Amino acid sequence: MQALAMKGKVYLMGAGPGDTDLLTVKAVRVLRAAEVVLHDDLVSPQILELVPASAQVRNVRKLSLQAGNLQEKIHSLLISAAREGHQVVRLKANEALPSAHVDDETEALAQAGVDFEVIPGAASAMGAAAGANSN
């Protein structure tokens, strides 16, 4: 009898301008439950502090120093981590969702049959602007 595979999921999320107060409640909840996090170079340390210490956290920018196509490596890591049953967060700097890379990532995940969800990380650009003006 073959063991049932654990069901993993990938969350594609924008980190907003880097202020944790501007993240949605759902974004914070997902980050706190993450088991694997693949993040961009410019994601703020404050956002990354929300990730559990037990999670595997990887700066995907460092992958580009190795030979090969960076986006294909990211796709492979997302798919394999989800297939291993992990809750995976692909954390993008700023509020770059949707973007060409997110579209590529959602397409790759869909083709691989991996469950995923796109979550805006910050309430809105207007909320970010309001937060920038508050003291």
Q: Which of 75, 88, 93 is nearest to 35 (CA)?
A: 88
How high is the pLDDT of residue 64? Answer: 64
Could you say which of 7, 21, 41, 62 is catalytic? 62
User: Is there a catalytic annotation at residue 104?
Assistant: no
User: In the sheet that 116-119 helps form, which strands lie side by side, from edge to edge?
Assistant: 56-59, 36-39, 87-92, 9-14, 116-119
How high is the pLDDT of residue 102? Answer: 65
CATH code of the region 9-125: 3.40.1010.10
Could you say which of 19, 40, 73, 104 is catalytic? 40
pTM, full prediction: 0.80
Confidence of residue 122 (pLDDT cuts 50, 70, 90): low
Whether 4 shows a pLDDT value over 90: the answer reads no
Per-domain residue ranges of the chain: 9-125
- Across 15-102, where does the E strand assignment appear? 36-39, 56-59, 87-92
pLDDT tens for residues 22-72? Answer: 999 999 999 999 999 999 888 999 999 999 999 999 999 876 666 568 888
User: Is there a catalytic annotation at residue 62?
Assistant: yes
Q: How far is CA 111 from CA 48, 75, 105, 107, in A?
A: 29, 11, 10, 6
What pairs with residue 92 in β-bridges?
Answer: 14
Calpha distance 11→31 (Å, rounded)? 9
pLDDT tens for residues 64-118? Answer: 666 568 888 999 999 999 999 999 999 988 754 555 556 788 999 999 999 999 9
